[in-house]
Structure 1
Amino acid sequence: MNKKMRMKLVAIMAMGILSVGSLVGCGSGEPAQTETETKPSTEAQDTSKEEPKKDEKPVELVWWTIGNEPADLDAVTDAINEYTMEKLNVTLDIRYASWGDYGEKLSKIVQSGESFDIAFGAGIKGYQDLANKGYFADLTPYLEGTPDLKNFIPEALWQGMTVNDQIIGVPAYKDSAQAQYWVWQQPVVDELGIDITKIKTLEDLDPVLRQMKEKYPDKYPLMLQGLEGINGFIATVCGYDELVVTPSIGVHYEDASATVVSPWEQENTMNNLKIIHKWFNDGLINPDAATATENYKGIMVWAAQGFPHAWTEADGVPVVYEKFYGPAYSTRTIQGSFLAVSAGSKNIDKSLEVIELVNTDEKMRNLLAFGVEGVNYEKTGETTIKKLTDGYEVPAYSQGTFFNMYTVDPAPASMWKDLQAETETAFSSPALGFTFNTQPVQNEVAACSNIESKYRPSLITGSANPEEVVPQMMTELNNAGYQDIITEVQKQLNEYLGK
């Protein structure tokens, strides 16, 4: 999942869902195992809980997470450890790796055998290959020792974290199902009298964009850039769960037969591409869209993944929004944020107890997310706060659930309850839980990815005529083995579904 950089989220998420970590299905295959790699431990461990003895030595767990290390980390960690000692006889050594370094650094740590216990799994480069090699603990037997955690997280999320019949991590129960919104500048909506509740499809949007162009002839109603186009285009505008992201291959969310297809060749995708192309020709889209790489400021309407109360303003302008798709569960959306436990950890059971505490204990969750009350924040209501300093800014989405967290003013106190209620309406992809192993066709995937990347920016921004360019792209893709990839995905998916 991508996010408008200009958006001011009132949620405490520092980054968007699916914006970190390797995306499901776009790996380049399993790297060769070298003699210097340390094999993960596979010894079974006792999963039963015992009350800590007063004279028992505390267990220290190493927890790797993503982001820039906050200035107040030591003080907050001291407060966290005072609580985890009381509850679990555990202390945490919380370590940060920067946004740019985390993926590579943690992948090396995992493979080197360096000792750690918990890590933000979604951010680790090639995490699926590492999971397939056994570097992450299979949590299935240990969850019996943390029943509150097991029962709190819905079964669909556990299914999404199951790879080769093993639960490779604890998913963050939050906006784990993708919901897509049109977000509008409120002054534009008010001035033109736009009923945003009636706009669900590109066909619905068409007359409104033309109305906007007539009212503001010097502006482009839809400002796009080639790396993204309309955010969520294949998944939410067209409705495909991309089992392979590049080149795009997937199943339609409403296809109970789970038939693997090329989204580019489907009638609904072609119709949407033709609409976007007409918008481009009619001057409703910025002419540099295909080559632009940055999001624009001050745009009047855009699509974004979100949830109730996610936006209040953008670039200093009040906004309003309306959902047009979802929420929908897929393996990709669920694996966008999870915590993995090292297979080499000597304390897998204690690691899960800590993760359980984060997800089920309000005090622990808010210590981890916001720091120390009276120092880093103060309460403005029973479950609302305002921040006092910027000394403890962390990506809370990487830690656990949102549903026992405080909300930050001016977000409403009901924010997370409303999100949870929306999430409970989510539907699932017919391929939920499936992860494609690219190894049998890794060369074809690499070649087709390069081909698609040449054409995709111009197609998704309307710069190219899809009736001409899609056939040209498909010829090149098929010559490079695209159909072989589809066949292999279908084979693996059928095996997964027991067909």
Structure 2
Amino acid sequence: MKKMRSVSLALALSLSVTALGACSGGGNNGSGGGNGGTASNGSGTEASSSNGGGSQALKPVKLVMVFPAAGEPKDMQLVSDEINKITKEKINATVKLVPIGWGAWTQQRTLMMSGKEQVDLILSGLGTYSQDVAKGQFLELNDYLEKEGNGIKQALDNLDPGFLNATKIDGKIYAVPSIRDLAADFGITMRKDLVDKYNIDITSIKSLDDLDAIFKTIKENEPDIVPTVKYGQSIIDIYVRSAFDTLSDGFGVLPGNDNNLKLVDMYEAPEYKEMLNTVRRWYLAGYIAKDAATSTETQYNMVKAGKAFSWISHMKPGIETQESRNTAREMVSVHFKPAISTTSDITSIMWSVARNSADPSRAMMLLNLLYTDKDLINLFDYGIEGKHYTKVSDNVIDFPQGVDATNSGYNLQLGWMFGNQSLSYIWNGDSPNLWNDLMEFNKNATKSKAMGFIFNADAVKSEIAAVTNVTNQYKVALETGTVDPETQLPKFIDQLKAAGIDKIIAEKQKQLDAWAASNGN
């Protein structure tokens, strides 16, 4: 998912708390998985909560772990103390957790990484992976994974060896993805009360064109409710990925995630024009709000306020429960495009050992625990048992009496971020098979033929800046139906060409061909 342009990076950061909350599964930060208390490591293999041993032979070290968050929870120090009891015992290390607000993340992270401040583990991805590697900000992990990261390798390889391979740059690994939804399918999420009220047959929904009749029903009977609203920056901002591997920036894409590895300009592709025509038809029919292009309201707030019926997005198992919590209304989802896994799905949320690490080997040991140690991952995810959550059964948890999401002292909602999410407990109300379903979803997703390819944009930086400016001018208006694609799409394409999109595509194709040759594709 790596975005090299301002449009895409902004999306990546915003989706970290909204759509990448779509990585969060459920509960207060994502449900935990399992089979009656036996934790899956992402492959069905039982993971021991006493991974480690031999810590007495290691000198004591202090590690610094940096990640973005909505804020620092009131009880962060209490949770840190409990985390350090485990890490001290298992790897003779204490860990300082450094959460940075999403709004300040880019600037503060840059300052930390460019100076000499100690940073051992840091969240990576979020649109800047290849650039950060080019700057030398991360250490190569191949040897560390072999020596201290076997649990990480096993958990990822048992899902699909391609997931870890997708992070390689010139054959070297500089980050490991968290185990979460590493693929996406696509469809529509709707208010269940209105689906039931109007006897909408959701089994009949197979494509975007099947939504017209549904939207018509909502518009005619619920005049104060918008039939469908933006997800991300537009109506189809994310949905376009159902037809193309966007190869991080959308400037040169792979139709059908294959196309014999021959890139095209997405904005000239007939599939894209067809989507624009559909969205324009909806806009003219009143199914999309007139201010959709400029509105900053999220889909969640619109539904919460009773102003919206649906949105079109990427999905995963458990999406209905997640979105019901996000909107405080019961939602129902229809998945009508199959699951696909691309490099972007893998590299969006990862962990790296920073070049400023005081002890890279011990940093890798800590990271390995986040993929293998059930007790540790649940401290990161949910906090302290009895204070921040209570067990309903062996592997199902809920808030303690008198505690909820608004007053909990530890409610990060970042289960999708920390290591191996399949070791997390299940939040009460989620499917008891959620993580098993998600791991099967990851395994069975169609893999893009370009999975593992990471574009180096250095040779076309000027063109990308120019093309991004043109995209910012046209894309949202077209993808919300606000302007007529018959007249505006040709202008958009002409200006993209004048800005250098063909040069970008040629450079990306050259790199893709070289990548394919080196990988035997």
3-state SS of 2:421 partner: coil
For 2:108, the equivalent position in structure 1 comes to 105
For 1:10, the equivalent position in structure 2 comes to 26
Q: 2:450 aligns with which of 412, 417, 431?
A: 431
Aligned ranges 1:37-48 → 2 under 5 Å: none
3-state SS of 2:228 partner: coil
Q: CA deviation at 1:254?
A: 3.7
List per-residue Cα deviations over 1:239-260 (Å, max 9, x = no partner). 1111252x64311234241111
- When structure 1 is superposed on structure 2, of 66-75 and 197-206 the one drifting more is 197-206
Aligned ranges 1:86-485 → 2 under 5 Å: 86-123=89-126, 126-145=128-147, 146-153=149-156, 154-217=160-223, 219-224=225-230, 227-236=233-242, 239-245=243-249, 248-295=251-298, 296-297=302-303, 298=306, 299-312=308-321, 313=324, 315-388=327-400, 389=403, 390-394=408-412, 395-485=414-504
1:225–1:435 CA distance, 2 compared to 1 (3 A): closer
The amino acid across from 1:358 in the alignment is: L
1:242–1:410 CA distance, 2 compared to 1 (3 A): same
1:358–1:51 CA distance, 2 compared to 1 (3 A): closer
Q: CA deviation at 1:225?
A: 7.6
List per-residue Cα deviations over 1:394-426 (Å, max 9, x = no partner). 222221121010122222322222222222211
Q: CA deviation at 1:136?
A: 0.6
- When structure 1 is superposed on structure 2, of 77-86 and 188-197 the one drifting more is 188-197
The amino acid across from 2:442 in the alignment is: T
For 1:31, the equivalent position in structure 2 comes to none
2-side partners of 1:309 and 1:58: how far apart? 41
1:102–1:361 CA distance, 2 compared to 1 (3 A): same
The amino acid across from 1:392 in the alignment is: Y
The amino acid across from 1:10 in the alignment is: G
The amino acid across from 1:189 in the alignment is: V
Question: Any conservation in 2 of the 1:177–1:326 contact (CA below 8 Å)?
Answer: no
The amino acid across from 1:152 in the alignment is: A
Question: Any conservation in 2 of the 1:225–1:461 contact (CA below 8 Å)?
Answer: no
Percentage of pairs with the same residue: 27
1:429–1:404 CA distance, 2 compared to 1 (3 A): same
Q: CA deviation at 1:71?
A: 1.3
2-side partners of 1:201 and 1:235: how far apart? 14
Question: Any conservation in 1 of the 2:61–2:92 contact (CA below 8 Å)?
Answer: yes
The amino acid across from 2:411 in the alignment is: E
Q: CA deviation at 1:55?
A: 6.7
Q: CA deviation at 1:198?
A: 3.1
3-state SS of 2:188 partner: strand
TM norm structure 2: 0.83
For 1:40, the equivalent position in structure 2 comes to none
1:477–1:387 CA distance, 2 compared to 1 (3 A): same
1-side partners of 2:492 and 2:58: how far apart? 65
The amino acid across from 1:206 in the alignment is: D
1-side partners of 2:169 and 2:204: how far apart? 40
3-state SS of 1:69 partner: coil
The amino acid across from 2:166 in the alignment is: G
Q: CA deviation at 1:385?
A: 0.9
The amino acid across from 2:397 in the alignment is: I
Question: Any conservation in 2 of the 1:242–1:251 contact (CA below 8 Å)?
Answer: yes
1:289–1:6 CA distance, 2 compared to 1 (3 A): farther
Q: CA deviation at 1:202?
A: 1.1
Q: CA deviation at 1:291?
A: 2.1
1-side partners of 2:327 and 2:58: how far apart? 54
Q: CA deviation at 1:183?
A: 0.8
2-side partners of 1:244 and 1:393: how far apart? 31
1:106–1:223 CA distance, 2 compared to 1 (3 A): closer
- Provide structure 2 residue ranges, at least 5 long, that are not aligned to the other structure: 1-11, 31-50
1:206–1:474 CA distance, 2 compared to 1 (3 A): same
The amino acid across from 1:65 in the alignment is: F
1-side partners of 2:180 and 2:53: how far apart? 30
Question: Any conservation in 2 of the 1:11–1:310 contact (CA below 8 Å)?
Answer: no
Question: Any conservation in 1 of the 2:186–2:239 contact (CA below 8 Å)?
Answer: no
- When structure 1 is superposed on structure 2, of 383-392 and 460-469 the one drifting more is 383-392
3-state SS of 1:181 partner: strand
Q: CA deviation at 1:97?
A: 1.4
Q: CA deviation at 1:9?
A: 6.7
List per-residue Cα deviations over 1:129-176 (Å, max 9, x = no partner). 221232211111121123222111131221221122111111101112
- When structure 1 is superposed on structure 2, of 162-171 and 209-218 the one drifting more is 209-218
The amino acid across from 2:246 in the alignment is: E
Q: 2:511 aligns with which of 481, 489, 492?
A: 492
- When structure 1 is superposed on structure 2, of 360-369 and 207-216 the one drifting more is 207-216
- When structure 1 is superposed on structure 2, of 150-159 and 385-394 the one drifting more is 385-394
Question: Any conservation in 2 of the 1:226–1:458 contact (CA below 8 Å)?
Answer: no
Q: CA deviation at 1:212?
A: 2.9
1:12–1:305 CA distance, 2 compared to 1 (3 A): farther
- When structure 1 is superposed on structure 2, of 340-349 and 150-159 the one drifting more is 340-349
3-state SS of 1:289 partner: coil
Q: CA deviation at 1:59?
A: 2.1
Question: Any conservation in 2 of the 1:121–1:169 contact (CA below 8 Å)?
Answer: yes
Q: CA deviation at 1:53?
A: 6.0
1:414–1:57 CA distance, 2 compared to 1 (3 A): same
3-state SS of 2:422 partner: coil
2-side partners of 1:231 and 1:276: how far apart? 11
List per-residue Cα deviations over 1:380-399 (Å, max 9, x = no partner). 11111112441112222221
1-side partners of 2:232 and 2:79: how far apart? 41
